[in-house]
Structure 1
Amino acid sequence: MSSRRDFLQKISLSAAVIPFLSAKSVAATKDDKPYDGPILRVAILGLGSYGTRVADAMQSCKKAKLVGAISGTPSKLTAWQSKYGIPEKNCYNYETYDAIKNNPDIDAVYIITPNALHKEAAMRVAKAGKHVISEKPMSINAKDAQEMVDACKKAGVKLLVGYRMHYEPKTLEVIRMRNAGEFGKVLFFQGLSGFIIGDPTQWRLNKALSGGGAMMDIGIYSVNGARYMIGEEPIWVTAQEVKTNPEKFKEGIDETITFQLGFPGGAVASCLSTYSLNNLDKFFLDGDKGFAEMQPSTGYGPIQGHTHKGELTQPHITHQTLQMDGMSELIFEGIQPVVPVDGEEAVKDLKIIDAIFEAIKTGKKVALKL
C-alpha cells in the first residue's frame, strides 16, 4: 500500500437518518467564525498508511470527526486511541464490529482495506445501520459493486466513495471552465497514471485481494478522470496490455494497459495505466477553443496546472479534509458535489474497467452502456 501512496505524495440518508453530534466550536472557518452544525462521526476500518492519512486530514475537518477505529491488529487500535483520542468503547476488531449497530457515537464507517474486502465490510456496516464510505475502486467488479449499492439502499444508508479529486479546487475550476464553454467543443483527453511499484509480496499484486494490478489501483484515476474532465459518459472502449515482467506481475495482475474511450459528443480519450513507469500523473484536455493541462493531476498535492488562459491558482487544501467535510454536507444537508461521489458513480467506473479487461481478452471494441 505504501508504494503508491508514497509515490503520489512525492509527486505532488437517505431514508434513515442516524443521530449526529452538534458541536459549537469544532474548528474555525476561513473567516474565523466557529462552525455550529451537524458533525459526521466516522470510524475508520483498516488502519494502514492511507487510513492514517485520512485520520490525520480529519483533524482539520469542520464537519466531520474521527471517533472510532476498526482493525485486526490490537497494537494499532491502542496506538490510535492514544494518537487521536478515540475512546476504547469505539474500537473494534474485524470479528466484533457488527456491534457498531448499538453504538450511537458512530454515524459512518470508512472502509480502507484491500479492494476484494470492501463488499463484505460494506454489507456488514449497512446491516448495522451506519453510512458506508468505501475507498476506490469500490469493489473488484461492477456486479459486486451493484450489490453494495443495492444493500445500502435496502438498509436506508448512504454509500459514498473516496473520490477526493471531486472536491479538489483546481480540478473543479477546469470543470467549471468546460461547463462554461471556455474550451469550446471538447475533442480529446489524455490521462497518464502510473508509477513503479515496489514490494512484490504486497496485497496489490495479489489478485485475490486486489482484483487486478495497476488498473485497479492507479489506472482508475484516468478512467474516472476521463469522465469528469470530458463531462460525458463513454460509449465504447478498446484496450491493449503489455507485460514485461511476468514473474512480478503474475496472471491476472496487469502491469501496463493502454486504453481508449469514445464519447457521444465525438471526443476521444487516450489513457495509460502502469506499475512500471514513474513520472506519470498527467491530465490533458483539449477543445477547439482552449485546453487544460494538469501535472500532478491526481497526487496528494498540491495539484499544478494551467489552461490557455493561464496558471491555475486555486489554493491547496488537503484533499481528504475537503472530501470528509463534503461528505458530511452530503449526508446531513443534501449538498451534492459537482461530480458525484456515490456508489452509482463507482459502479460506472467498474463497468468501464470490466470492459477494458474484456477488450484486452477479445481484442475487440467493447460497447458501453452506463
Structure 2
Amino acid sequence: MNSRRRFLQKMAITAAGLPLLRFQSLAGNFRRDEPVLRVAMMGLGGYANRVADAMKACTKAKIVGAISGTPTKLSDWQQRFGIPVKNCYNYENFDQIKHNPDIDVVYITTPNALHHSQVLRVAAAGKHVICEKPMALNAKEGQEMVDACRKAGVQLLVGYRMHFEPKTLAITEMRKRNEFGKIMFFQGQCGFRIGDPTQWRLNKELAGGGSIMDIGIYAINGARYMVGEEPVWITAQEIKTDPVKFKPGVDETIQFQMGFPSGAIASCLSTYNMNYLDRFYLNGEKGFAELQPSTGYGPIKGRTNQGELTQPHVTHQTVQMEEMADILLRGKKPAIPVDGAEGVRDLKIIDAIYAAVRSGKREML
C-alpha cells in the first residue's frame, strides 16, 4: 500500500511539471509551446510536392491545406499529408480561405503568369503569401502585388531558397567582412537542356519568356547578393538555335552583363539548351569564392581562396520554410531579403535584359 501511495505521489509530481517542459506532439515534430506556420500549397505540381515532402522535417511549419484545379490531386494530398477536406479548395473558390482560421499562409507554385492575380486574391482574403520566383511577369505586376499585400496588412515573401543556404551565406558573410577585398567580377552560369516542348515553361503566355524567367533569375539574383550591390546598367544578347522549340518570346539562351556602382561587373549566361551549367564565381582584389553546383537542390559545393566550404547540407526547402516561419511568426530579419521588394528588384532587371536584347544597347537602371 505504501509503495502504491509513493508511486502515485511521484506520478502527480511529474505530471505537475509537464506544462513547464518543451516536448514533441504525438502528431509530429511540433513543439506545443511554439506557434507553427500553417501552410496551404497552391498548384500541386512537381515543385509543390518537393516543398511539401521537405516540410515533413520542419518543426516550425506544416502543410494544412491544398489548392488545385485537379480533384484527384486534392484527394491524393488529403491522404498523403493528412489534410482535412475543409482545407481543400479549387481555383474558383479559394477566396473562401478568408473564413478558414486554420491557414496562415498560401504558398503559390503555379505558372508565372498566374502569380499576379492569385497573390492579389490571397491578400484580399487576409492571408500571408509565399510566391515562387519569378514573382510576376514584369516589375509593374510585381509592384502591384507588393502594394496589394501592404494594403491588406499581410506579408509577401518570395521562394528564394538559396538565401538560406549555408555555403551561400558563408560567402556573403565573408564578403561583408571584406575578406575578398574590393569586388571586381561575378560570373553566373545557369542552364540545362529543357525537355517536353509542350510544357508551360515554353509557353509565352504562361511563362512570360523562356530561360531567363526560369533558370536565369538565379544568376540575376545571385549577382546581387554575391556582389552586395544593385546593378546600374544592363547589356544582353540572345542566341536562338531552335526557333521551332523556342517560339517568339521564348528565349533559349541569353548572355547578359551588369555593371555595379563600385565598378564591379557581372557576366552571366542563362540557357535552356546546355547542361552542366550551375556555377557562381566571385572575384575580389584579395580573394575569390566559387560555388559549383551553385543553385541546384544540393548538395551545394564551394571553395574560396581560404579553402573548401564544409557547411553541412540540409534540404533547402526544409531550411527555407523553417526560416520563413520565423519571419512570418516571429519577425525575424533574414541575412538576405526574401520579401516582395526583393522580387521586384529582380523583375526590374529582367525587364531591362529583355529591353537590351531588343535594343542592342546598354539599358540603365
Measured against the shorter chain, the TM-score band is over 0.9
Aligned equivalents of 1:88 and 1:295: distance in 2?
43
Give unpaired runs (5+ residues) of structure 1: 1-22
1:349 matches 2:343: no
Q: Deviations over 1:98-141 (max 9, x none)?
A: 11000000000000000000011101100000001100000010
Is the Cα–Cα contact under 8 Å of residues 157 and 338 in structure 2 kept in the other structure? yes
**TM-aligned CA deviation for residue 330 of structure 1:** 0.7
1:137 matches 2:134: yes
Aligned equivalent of 2:185: 188
Aligned residues: 342
Is the Cα–Cα contact under 8 Å of residues 258 and 270 in structure 1 kept in the other structure? yes
Which letter does structure 2 place at the counterpart of 1:130?
A: K
How large is the RMSD of aligned CA atoms in angstroms?
1.2
Q: Deviations over 1:188-236 (max 9, x none)?
A: 0000000000000000000000000000000000000000000000000
1:362 matches 2:346: no
**TM-aligned CA deviation for residue 24 of structure 1:** 5.2
Is the Cα–Cα contact under 8 Å of residues 113 and 206 in structure 2 kept in the other structure? yes
TM-score after normalising by structure 1: 0.91
**TM-aligned CA deviation for residue 331 of structure 1:** 1.1
Using the aligned pairs only, state the percent identity: 67
Q: 1:296 aligns with which of 293, 297, 305?
A: 293
Which letter does structure 2 place at the counterpart of 1:191?
A: G
Which aligned pairs between 1:327-338 and structure 2 lie closer than 5 A?
Answer: 327-338=324-335
Aligned equivalent of 2:95: 98
Which aligned pairs between 1:242-321 and structure 2 lie closer than 5 A?
Answer: 242-321=239-318
Is the Cα–Cα contact under 8 Å of residues 29 and 57 in structure 2 kept in the other structure? no
Q: 2:170 aligns with which of 173, 187, 194?
A: 173
Aligned equivalents of 2:171 and 2:154: distance in 1?
32
Q: Deviations over 1:244-298 (max 9, x none)?
A: 0000000000000000000011100000000000000000000011000110000
Q: For the structure 1 residues 35 and 236, does the alpha-carbon distance in structure 2 shift closer, same or farther, using more than 3 Å as the test?
A: farther
Aligned equivalent of 1:127: 124
1:155 matches 2:148: no
Aligned equivalents of 1:340 and 1:346: distance in 2?
9
Aligned equivalents of 1:184 and 1:364: distance in 2?
31
Q: For the structure 1 residues 260 and 104, does the alpha-carbon distance in structure 2 shift closer, same or farther, using more than 3 Å as the test?
A: same
The runs of at least 4 consecutive aligned structure 1 residues that moved more than 4 Å come to 26-29
**TM-aligned CA deviation for residue 96 of structure 1:** 1.1
Which letter does structure 1 place at the counterpart of 2:24?
A: S
Aligned equivalent of 2:52: 55
**TM-aligned CA deviation for residue 25 of structure 1:** 2.3
Aligned equivalents of 1:218 and 1:318: distance in 2?
19
Aligned equivalents of 1:35 and 1:138: distance in 2?
34
Which letter does structure 2 place at the counterpart of 1:25?
A: Q
**TM-aligned CA deviation for residue 35 of structure 1:** 7.2
Aligned equivalents of 1:24 and 1:157: distance in 2?
31
Aligned equivalent of 1:117: 114
Aligned equivalent of 2:79: 82
Aligned equivalents of 1:293 and 1:335: distance in 2?
28
Q: 1:207 aligns with which of 204, 216, 220?
A: 204
Aligned equivalent of 1:41: 38
Aligned equivalent of 1:25: 24
Aligned equivalents of 1:333 and 1:81: distance in 2?
29
Which letter does structure 2 place at the counterpart of 1:287?
A: G
Which structure has the greater CA radius of gyration?
2
Is the Cα–Cα contact under 8 Å of residues 166 and 338 in structure 1 kept in the other structure? yes
TM-score after normalising by structure 2: 0.92
Q: Deviations over 1:64-92 (max 9, x none)?
A: 11100000000000000101111111011
Aligned equivalents of 1:231 and 1:171: distance in 2?
13
Q: 2:225 aligns with which of 219, 222, 228?
A: 228
